[in-house]
Structures are given as C-alpha cells and as structure tokens.
Amino acid sequence: MNKTFTLKNVYVEETASVVGPTEGAGPLGDLYDVVIPDEIYGESSWEKAERKMLIESIGLCMNKAGYEPADFDMILAGDLLGQLISANFAARDLPIPFAGIYGACSTFTLTVGMGALLIEGGFMDRVIAGASSHHETAEKTFRFPTELGVQRKATATWTMSGAAAVILGRSGPVRVSEVTFGRVVDYGIKDANNLGAAMAPAAFDTLERHLKNLGKRPEDYDLIATGDLGSVGQIMLKHLMGDSSMGSGNLTDCGLLVYDTRQDAHAGASGCGASACVFSSHFFPLLKKGHIRRLLLLATGALFGLTTAQQKESIPSTSHAICFERVEES
C-alpha cells in the first residue's frame, strides 16, 4: 500500500503567515500575522508582490522564533508559477541552502513532509518549509487574466493570496508524527474551473492508504482537513468516504475556512497558500492550546499546466498527508 512514515523527533517550532486584503476580510482575518493593504503590495508586478509576501513570511517566522539564517540547514518552498519564481527569487535574498518543491496546491504538506524526513533521518537539524500563491498571478497563469472579467463558473475556486512559513526542528509544541506522500490520480476531469472534482479522488486515495497503513480510523483524529477541495470537492470526498464505510464527521477543508459567503468566492479558496496559511494561523494555535490534539492535514494539488489545459488533457492530481500532534506537557 506504499509506505506511511511514523516520526518521533520532528516538531513545528513556529509559524508565520502573510495574506492579501480579501483574505484579511474573511473569518480568519484576525489570526494572520500580516494582512497586506492591496494585491500589488507596493511592487511593480503581481509576481514581485507574491515574492515579497513569501520573503516576509519567512523572515517573520525566523524573528518570532529568535533565529538567524545561519541557524537553518535548508529552505524547502514552492509556489504555483513557472520555474517556481516566487520561491526561487525569495531564496535569492536568503543565505540558506534552498530546494524548490512543486506539488501544485499540495506544496505545503509536501515541503513539510520532506523537511520532516530530513530531520528524522538525522541529516538536518532545522529547516524552513513554506509555500505561497497569489490570486492575480495564478489566475492569469491557469485560467484568465482578471482584467478580462471572464465570468467564473459556480464550481470555480478563488486562488488565495497568501504565503506562510513554518520552522521544523527537534523540539517544539507540536510534533509531526505521520507522513504519507500521495500518488498521482487521474479520473478524467478536464475542467480547470472544477479542480475540486479533479482532486477529491487523490485526497481519498491518500487518506485511505494512510489509515490502512496505520490501522486507524478517521475518528482517531480530532480533525481531518483537506487543503482546497472547496465545496464541490468536499462533497465528493464525503461520498467516497461513505462508500468505504468511513465516517466524515470530523472533515473540514482549509479552502472553506478562508472566505465567508458574502465574499462570493464560489467554491472556496484554493492555492498553495490555503493550507499553508490556515495551518499557520488557525490550526497551529489550536494545537498549541490543546483545543485539538491530533490534526491530519491533506493538502491537495491539481498537477496541470497552461499547455495541457489548452490541449484538453485531463487533470492529474495528488495529495500528501501530515499528522500534527500536540506535545503534552509532562
């Protein structure tokens, strides 16, 4: 069934998040570290604005934890843009070894999982894992430039403008205890405006393998949170779980927590920033305070590109699962 890794020595030390003004006006607005005043953020392009957000989230995370760049072995980060230009250019300004990671909107849990294995294996002591997305940069890359005013389908999600970073080390208030990397799953969905439907089978595939490998049930976790399935994808995942006799009462989705109904985000938030920012600003504090003790986070990613969409290829997807556990005080 492919391996699930169980870890004993990897912890989340600190987190930080930077989001756009639309996200700041949503239900979690008071929880983010920084809400930028507008999407351009004082830069000359959307791409430079996204890069600035990622750099700021990494710097803020280091400052909150009291670290300097020399205290880190590596940065693992990614985004949605070609050649990972947000992460690559952000790393240019930081004197830390860097590996760019691409998993589409699943990038956050992919970077955390890979960083966790590097620490658990004894190869590194402290790493930064991060991810970013930006509404304007992603929409013009994968769908249409927003200036065109193209009408969005009801099934479409709203790419979140957000960047977040987490510090992984050998001590901290929250432990990374389980990692299952996703397989690539393709059920033939071709509509780039219905990515929740494309990603739901991948989330189920990873969830099912994760539980079977560990001999667990969904109720063994306080929350199971997908990354950005949105309202459509979450319904499909619940159906798949029901068909396999899994309970879904503790299921939530990061993309459905970012906006409220008055913001008209249609199916919810998407993008690398969705799982990264919701974990950093919302779930991590809940774990630290003991309001939840075990969180299974399955960020989801649609692995398509502009060319494949125009050539009417179907959309392969993946999902990577990470279990975060509160460290109980002795």
Q: Is the pLDDT of residue 15 over 80?
A: yes
Is residue 113 within 8 Å of residue 254, measured between CB atoms?
no
Q: What phi and psi, each to the nearest 5 degrees, are found at residue 228?
A: -150, 45
Distance CA 129, CA 58 (A): 9
**Residue 330 confidence (pLDDT):** 62
Q: What is the mean pLDDT of the chain?
A: 94
Q: Distance of CA 169 to CAs 19, 187, 218, Å?
A: 25, 38, 27
Calculate helix-pair angle for 46-65, 85-92, nearest 10 degrees.
50
List, for residues 64-76, the tens digit of each pLDDT value: 999 999 999 999 9
pLDDT above 70 for 118: yes
Question: pLDDT-derived band of residue 305, with 50, 70 and 90 as boundaries?
Answer: confident
pLDDT at position 1 is 60
Tens digit of each residue's pLDDT (9 = 90 or more) over 38-50: 999 999 999 999 9
Contacts of 309 (CB under 8 A, 6+ apart): 142, 190, 192, 315
Strands 174-180 and 317-326, bridge-based pairing: antiparallel
Query: How does DSSP assign 183-247, residue by residue?
Result: PPB------TT-HHHHHHHHHHHHHHHHHHHHT--GGGSSEEEESS-HHHHHHHHHHHHHHTT--
CATH topology match: 5-169 vs 177-326: yes
Question: What is the pTM (predicted TM-score) of this model?
Answer: 0.96
Q: Which two tokens stand for residue 189?
A: 């969905």
The sign of the CA dihedral 90, 318, 122, 323 is positive
CB 307 within 8 A of CB 233: no
**pLDDT attached to residue 272:** 95
What is the tens place of the pLDDT at every residue in 142-193? 767 777 677 777 888 889 999 999 999 999 999 999 999 999 999 999 998 8
Closest among 138, 139, 118 to 127, alpha carbons compared: 118
Q: What is the DSSP string of 248-281?
A: -TTEEEHHHHH--GGG--TT-EESHHHHHHHIII
5-169: which CATH number, 3.40.50.2300, 3.90.940.20, 3.60.21.10, 3.40.47.40? 3.40.47.40
Question: CATH assignment of 177-326, given 2.60.40.420, 1.10.1200.10, 3.90.470.10, 3.40.47.40?
Answer: 3.40.47.40
Structure tokens at 257: 């927590």
Q: What is the pLDDT of residue 256?
A: 96
Domain boundaries, the chain: 5-169, 177-326
The tens digit of pLDDT for each residue in 199-230 reads: 999 999 999 999 999 999 999 999 999 999 99
